[in-house]
Structure formats: C-alpha cells, structure tokens
Structure 1
C-alpha cells in the first residue's frame, strides 16, 4: 500500500516508518508543514492511506493536531485516498476506562492538549473515510515484545505501557485490518 506517514521524524512516527517498510508498504515520510494545506496536498499525491502520528512539540500551536488532521483529511478526499489511522492517546479516551493513576496524570495534562486531540478525533469520526483511532498508553523505548492488545473496551491500569516498536507494529497491522475500521483502539501490552 502507498502510505503517507505524518509525524514521521520523531518518536513513534520514526519507528512507524520502519515497521511499515518491513511490512512492504511504500512509505512516504511527510517532511513538510502539516499546517500548510498545499504541502499536505503535494505529499498526498499518489497515496492510498495515511497514518498520522502527529504530536505537538514545544512551541507548537495549541491546535496543531486538529488543524493538521483537518488538512490531511481534506487532502485525502482530493486524492481519493480512503484509509486513515490516527494516533491519539489513552488520556483522550473515556475517563471511566482510566485507572486512578492515569486520571491523576490526566489532571495535570494541559487542557489545550486534550482539547486538540479530542477535536482531531472528532474530525476523523466525521470524515467519511475508513478510519481507525489508536490510543496508545505510555510509550517506551523498551525492546519489542511482539505482543499487544487492541481491545477498545479495555481499562488502563497504573503500569500500562507499550513499546514504541510494538505500537508501530499494531498500527501497521490495523491499517490492513478491515475489522478496525470505525474503531477507537486502546494499544497496550
């Protein structure tokens, strides 16, 4: 599959590019400004799918994820691409599924960050595309275990974590799995 990875140059996105190539996808790592619709359109040409691992960095606008997601969705519609996997976060999910530790952590996460992620998820749900939302728990740089859970109804315990390599493999697998379309999956080991 011809795949555009947004947010490909750091953290999970960089590992994701490698995992997608190992799975024989033709990967383009987006190097432009996701807030520039023309750059996103140009990168989207000829692509069949997008995995967005976009995340804010110090100095990013508060609405980076929502605006970047909106530009990606619009570019996908113009290019005729249908498959979108959005990486969000466990903190964005339902509070009832978060254990006490994650609820305490979420209380100190900037509200603008959570609002941005929620807006990005809402845009994806309303996009008319074949979408999957992935909500990884705490990402680690530990070695891959080759095992993970993607249960949308799972709870997040106090020690919930997943290796970036396993999260990347789960995302690549979800890309080709029609059972994940229209689902918000919690990723944890």
Structure 2
C-alpha cells in the first residue's frame, strides 16, 4: 500500500509512518523541517500549500492526517485538512483517515461528565478547530473515517484499546498511548466497514 501521512514527522503521525514502514508499505511524509522516519519519502513544506499537498497525495492508496495546532495560526487543523481534501479530489485519491479529538462533534457523550465539562472550558479553541475539520471531512465526498482519541500520552503501547461510535453505549477513559492510537489508525486505513464513520478511542 502507498500511504501518505500528513503530520508524520513527529508524534502520532511519525509512529503511524514507522508502523507502516515496518509492515512493508510505501510511506510518504509531509514535513516542514524535512525530517521523517527512516525509509519514508519526504515532501518538504506545509500541507496547507496546494502544490505540497498535491505532490504528497498523488498516487496514494490512503492518506492519514494527524496534524495538531500551530501557534498563532487559527484553525490550523482545518486548513491542512481542507488542502488535503482538495488535493485528493484533484488526484483521485480516495481513502482518508483523520485524527480528531474526543469531545468534537457529538462525542462528548462518550466521556465522563467531569471530563466533558473540563474539556469544554480548557480546550474550547482546539475543539472548535476539530469541529470545523470534521465538517470538511464529512463534506469531502471521499471514503473517510474520523478517529477521536482521548488525551494522548507517550507511554508504551500495550496493543489494547476501546473504540466506540457515539450511540453504541460505550464509554471511554481519559487517555490513550500514541503508540496504540497509531496502531489503530493503521488498522482503520484498511477497514472498509469504517468508511463514513467517526470512532472514539481510549485505553
């Protein structure tokens, strides 16, 4: 599989790229700094640049977006995701998996009430960005899946997690290791049953 990871130079995206490379996939990473896991093809620049986004997704079987916010940039996640969607539509790439956040959209119902209230106050701006990002994804016409993790940690992954959609009765905890989130994102890429669905994940 030819996989493009937007935000793959560090954090969860780098772990997705590393796992994909270990599994024998061809991986392209967009990186402003030009850094990426060993073995990945690097497209240097910002994914908000239409030409950078087009080069990154051209020929991809799937695209994973794992970008965070950027200091001084309003709704960075939304801007990157919109540029990626436009590039995929132009090049014919179809499969899109986007890392959002638990608390976005209607997913607050999956969290304990105290955590839900805390996130609304402390993370109001990032959640607004994720809400707008998810709207871009849902309106894209692509084969999309949104993954909404709880709080991310750098703890070692254990290969176990809970993944639930809103309405299926599952409640989620407060954290998930980036390593486990990355493993789940790579699984989702190949799971056609999750196309058009948003899933929350925690340990």
Q: Would the TM-score normalized by the shorter structure come out above 0.5?
A: yes
For residues 108-164 of structure 1, give each alpha carbon's deviation from its aligned partner in whole angstroms, at most 9, with x where no partner exists. 33433222111110111111111000001111111111111221132234xx22111
Structure-2 change in CA distance of 1:67 and 1:188 (3 Å): same
Aligned residue number for residue 58 of structure 1: 71
Indicate if the aligned counterparts of 1:88 and 1:121 stay in contact, CA closer than 8 A.
yes
RMSD, aligned α-carbons: 1.5
Secondary structure, counterpart of 2:136 in structure 1: helix
**What stretches of structure 2 of length at least 5 have no aligned partner?**
32-44
1:84 maps onto 2:100 in alignment: no
Indicate if the aligned counterparts of 2:70 and 2:76 stay in contact, CA closer than 8 A.
no
Structure 1 moving runs of 4+ over 4 Å: none
Q: Which of residues 98, 113, 116 in structure 2 aligns to 1:100? A: 113
Indicate if the aligned counterparts of 1:69 and 1:120 stay in contact, CA closer than 8 A.
yes
Scaled by the length of structure 2, what TM-score is found?
Answer: 0.86
Aligned residue number for residue 25 of structure 1: 25
Q: Comparing both chains, which one has the higher relative contact order based on Cα–Cα distances under 8 Å and sequence gaps of 6 or more?
A: 1
Q: Which of residues 33, 49, 55 in structure 1 aligns to 2:62? A: 49
For residues 144-189 of structure 1, give each alpha carbon's deviation from its aligned partner in whole angstroms, at most 9, with x where no partner exists. 11111221132234xx221111110000000001111111011112
Indicate if the aligned counterparts of 1:139 and 1:162 stay in contact, CA closer than 8 A.
yes
Aligned residue number for residue 34 of structure 2: none
Equivalenced residues, count: 186
1:171 maps onto 2:185 in alignment: yes
Secondary structure, counterpart of 1:90 in structure 2: coil
